[in-house]
């Protein structure tokens, strides 16, 4: 989108009056994340929660305006609500290295509300997380989802990394999702699973410059406004590829969704394992059971000798899992074909299930499925043991 085209669109949007301020939408600061490319145009309309009904008509008017622009085949305005964050009563600030009393920890640790729900017609919600980026979490998510499907389960895959969605590329998806008769988005069926990603609705190169509440709202819509399953054909498992870290999206999921369990992905080196501890601690404090830890990029097999070359070290994730009282699910070796499969958009486990990495994914899937069926959403999270 050229600067001239962008200004034309903004000028048109500014002709729509904000019912609260009386100014144009642009002047009122209500147009967020404008995207216009490949026949599509859209933006986020962010308002206060109480004003959502008031702005439904504004959203419709803005969509109609965008749809009337030359070359626009599909227009979408996402109405999202956010509130200014406020300090909760009893919050405290501590210096680095200070120790909180058990009473302070229990009072200030976030917890899952008793009303946390799963998306309609979904039996289990499985979060695949990592403490830091670059550890292959999305590759594990894609192959774990497909491995679960190979076990005979009905599986969905939600790309919750709204800032860096990679699932469309890894699954070779280019189709845009459509709205079904029930008013919900239809996930894309591919390789025996159902997939949805914010990357299917925006240009691959477009940056998602969203504040935390907007990203959390997008996650909520992809969870609850997508027809993951039906009464006649419910989904067994919805795998959620989480963004790295322990931010707004992770807390939104942990606190508002009845997550059956979490799988934490890491590489063996110490710098990644530090963040694994943080990730496991977050899930523990929000009462999400840890199904286990996966060590990705555990070793590389020398093509000439068959020896395992431990490029990033080996066994660190297993030791960390044991230290924190979490199950260790297995290690996935480095495989050039696995990297190529991610780039080519065809999950590695589809054609390479008998390779060392493929067998690792299948074994992890078996362990995860067993953990879910054993009632993971009823078990308490493991107790962390901090050692020197």
CATH 3.40.50.300 residue spans of the chain: 122-377
Which of the four CATH numbers 3.40.50.920, 3.40.50.720, 3.30.1280.10, 3.30.300.130 does domain 3-81 have? Answer: 3.30.300.130
**Highest mean pLDDT: which of 64-68, 153-157, 285-289, 296-300?**
153-157
pLDDT category at 318 given cuts 50, 70, 90 is confident
Q: φ and ψ at 213, to 5 degrees?
A: -60, -35
Contact 124, 141 (CB under 8 A): no
pLDDT for the residue numbered 346: 93
Contact 154, 229 (CB under 8 A): yes
pTM over 0.85: no
Hey, what CATH topology would domain 122-377 get? Rossmann fold (3.40.50)
Name which residue leads in pLDDT, 104 or 324: 324
CATH 3.30.300.130 residue spans of the chain: 3-81
pLDDT category at 294 given cuts 50, 70, 90 is very high
pLDDT at 379 over 50: no
Which residues, at least 6 apart from 208, have a Cβ–Cβ distance to it below 8 Å?
Answer: 33, 162, 163, 198, 202, 215
Residue 358, classed as helix, strand or coil, is: helix
pLDDT for the residue numbered 101: 40
Cα-based distances in Å from 300 to 56, 76, 306, 323, 344: 54, 45, 9, 25, 21
């Amino acid at each position: 989108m050229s600067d001239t085209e962008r200004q034309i669109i903004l000028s048109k949007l500014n002709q729509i009056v904000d019912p609260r301020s009386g100014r144009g939408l642009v002047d009122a600061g209500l147009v967020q994340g404008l995207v216009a490319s490949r026949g599509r145009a859209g933006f986020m309309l962010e308002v206060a929660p109480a004003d959502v009904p008031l702005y439904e008509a504004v959203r419709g008017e803005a969509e109609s305006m965008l749809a009337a622009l030359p070359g626009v085949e599909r227009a979408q305005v996402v109405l999202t609500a956010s509130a200014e964050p406020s300090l909760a009563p009893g919050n405290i600030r501590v210096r680095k290295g200070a120790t909180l009393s058990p009473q302070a920890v229990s009072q200030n640790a976030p917890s899952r509300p008793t009303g946390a729900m799963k998306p309609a017609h979904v039996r289990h919600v499985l979060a695949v997380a990592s403490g830091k980026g670059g550890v292959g979490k999305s590759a594990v998510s894609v192959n774990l989802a497909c491995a679960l499907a190979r076990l005979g389960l009905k599986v969905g895959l939600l790309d919750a990394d709204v800032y860096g969605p990679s699932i469309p590329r890894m699954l070779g998806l280019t189709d845009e999702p459509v709205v079904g008769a029930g008013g919900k988005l239809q996930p894309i069926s591919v390789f025996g699973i159902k997939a949805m990603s914010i990357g299917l609705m925006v240009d691959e190169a477009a940056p998602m410059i969203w504040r935390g509440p907007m990203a959390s709202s997008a996650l909520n819509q992809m969870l609850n406004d997508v027809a993951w399953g039906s009464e006649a054909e419910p989904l067994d498992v919805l795998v959620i590829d989480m963004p790295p870290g322990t931010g707004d999206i992770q807390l939104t999921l942990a606190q508002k969704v009845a997550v059956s369990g979490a799988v934490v992905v890491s590489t063996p080196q110490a710098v990644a394992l530090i963040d694994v501890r943080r990730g496991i601690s977050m899930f523990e404090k929000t009462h999400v059971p840890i199904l286990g830890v996966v060590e990705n990029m555990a070793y590389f097999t020398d093509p000439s000798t068959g020896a395992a070359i431990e490029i990033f070290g080996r066994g660190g994730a297993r030791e960390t899992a044991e230290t924190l009282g979490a199950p260790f699910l297995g290690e996935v070796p480095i495989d050039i074909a696995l990297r190529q499969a991610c780039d080519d958009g065809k999950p590695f486990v589809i054609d390479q299930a008998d390779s060392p990495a493929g067998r690792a994914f299948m074994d992890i899937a078996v362990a995860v499925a067993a953990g879910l069926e054993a009632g993971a959403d009823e078990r308490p999270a493991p107790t962390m043991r901090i050692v020197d």
